[in-house]
Structure 1
Amino acid sequence: MSPRRSLPLRTAVAAGGLALSLAVLSGCTQVADMINTVQGEPVSAVPAPAPSESPAMAFNSQFTYDGSVALSSDVAQDLELRLDVWAQNPKRTQEWTADAEKTFGFAVNVHDNRVDEKSVLSQKRRVFISSISITSQTAQTSGQVQSPFQFSADPRTLVPSDTIRSDRGLLLNSFQGGLYVPETVIHGLPVDTYGMTLEFAMTVWVEGNANDDASFMQQTVYQYLPVAIFSADQAQASAPTPSATP
């Protein structure tokens, strides 16, 4: 055997001896100790950091994900007040940035689940809305909180004059009335805004028994609508790619 091959052979013999020693050891602890002795101390695995979410996506908003939302409140047993809100312009909520004008529409209606929706009004418990207001609260990376958007109105001034109304306000019952506001504009927001919560406050008069003027009671209903706000870069990145011309 030539001298050149003696060193690799010795290395192979040594490795084989180590493998044999490991094989005859009993118990997982002894095997682990032997491996640690040969390889040194084990290195703890460090999990890779999760990809960071953009601030807008971290602001949970069903309205932003779907472009519309239906919020419901019970004003009496089996009597549901419903608030529908939808993005009007831009319709793609990923384009709702701090500096852009953001237009949404909303509607308020009521459903008496004790009777069929097509029942005559005298068979339903009537609900009138006498005032509605919307306030806002921003979520900003700076930690500041502001209220840049405000809205307040008598619902009777927001609909045509022939809509059913009374001294208690505008009638909401489905098929006989309702409040429909197609456009409400949110102007510029602080530049570091990544979310905003709209608070709807609606003062209503609720009839306790159908066709009973003496049974009305007043209450205020609150609904909260989170809205994500995107940066200009995020809005541009989410824009659909134009299809190539054949």
Structure 2
Amino acid sequence: MLPAPSRPPRLRALAVAAAGLVVLTSLTGCTQIASAFNGLQQNAVSTPAPRPAVTQAVSMPYDSKFTYDGSVSLSTDVADGLEVRLDVWAADPKRTQEWAPDNDKTFGFAVNVVDHRVDEKAVLTQKRRVYMSMISITSQVSQSTIGQQQMMSPFQFSADPRTLVPSDTMRSDRGLLLNTFQGGLLVPTTTIHQLPADTYGITLQFALQVWVEGTANTDTSFQQQTVYQVLPIAIFSPTTPTQ
């Protein structure tokens, strides 16, 4: 079994910075954000799709850097030298080889942006701003028994990120500001609940609607685009061999 992964220095710094950026000044604030996120997520309906009654078992590996390291940083270029960064880490259990179909699997994530054309400590007017107006997460399970009913999107969520942070967080009609040291979205914990017993993997599919500033401090230069990221996560049964 892999040892409990330690959070990389960049993630530790990001968590500290993001906590201040979204004005998470108390445990109550974090709890409210997690509750809002999980409450909306739990309202999602999982619809099984009918399959032929065949019970042929297959054994397949599931490649997941998140599972191996316990955390992952996913980056998308939205302009030259401008990237949107999605960081995801295992929260409970922290040992990702304890992520099984029948237990709760809790993770946290943060969304920020980095403008490589300027120093990260530069004032906001020197940076190309990025606002996020919507975040959506869907999911797909991989099951080892062919012909059984497949669970469709067992974890899904969609919300305006401005509803997940305190009202004084920097924002505009374009959405929540993501720029490092000026804004961002931090969701400390959210949970994937019970999955079919034969699940050996789940893939989370993130879609972020963003407005990207073409020239720093120029309101007329914004353009909208959608950022997509895919996160595979391995799921282990009690009989799954561990390393």
What TM-score comes out, normalization by structure 2 length?
Answer: 0.72
2-structure distance, mates of 1:152, 1:61? 24
RMSD, aligned CA: 1.7
Determine the structure 2 residue equivalent to 1:107.
Answer: 110
1-structure distance, mates of 2:124, 2:188? 25
5+ unaligned residues in a row in structure 2: which ranges? 1-57
Give secondary structure in 2 for the equivalent of 1:156. Answer: helix
Write out per-residue CA displacement over residues 10-32 of structure 1, whole angstroms, 9 at most, x where no aligned residue. Answer: xxxxxxxxxxxxxxxxxxxxxxx
Determine the structure 2 residue equivalent to 1:198.
Answer: 204
Give secondary structure in 2 for the equivalent of 1:226. Answer: strand
Write out per-residue CA displacement over residues 54-103 of structure 1, whole angstroms, 9 at most, x where no aligned residue. Answer: 957x1000000000000000000100100000001111101100011111
1:153 aligns with 2:159: yes
Determine the structure 1 residue equivalent to 2:236.
Answer: 230
Give secondary structure in 1 for the equivalent of 2:117. Answer: coil
The 5 A counterparts of 1:14-53 are: none
The 5 A counterparts of 1:9-158 are: 55=59, 58-143=61-146, 144=150, 146-158=152-164
> Percent identical across equivalent pairs?
70
Give secondary structure in 1 for the equivalent of 2:145. Answer: coil
Give secondary structure in 2 for the equivalent of 1:202. Answer: strand
C-alpha contact (below 8 Å) 2:71/2:90 kept by paired residues: yes
AA at the equivalent of 2:94: K
C-alpha contact (below 8 Å) 1:159/1:179 kept by paired residues: yes
1-structure distance, mates of 2:183, 2:219? 18
C-alpha contact (below 8 Å) 2:151/2:196 kept by paired residues: no
Runs (4 or more) in structure 1 with deviation over 4 Å come to none
Q: Which has the higher strand share?
A: 2
2-structure distance, mates of 1:232, 1:201? 33
Rg comparison, structure with higher value: 1
What TM-score comes out, normalization by structure 1 length?
Answer: 0.71
Q: Which has the higher helix share?
A: 1
How far 1:232 sits from its partner (Å)? 2.5
5+ unaligned residues in a row in structure 1: which ranges? 1-53, 240-246
Distance 1:171 1:55, change over 3 A: farther
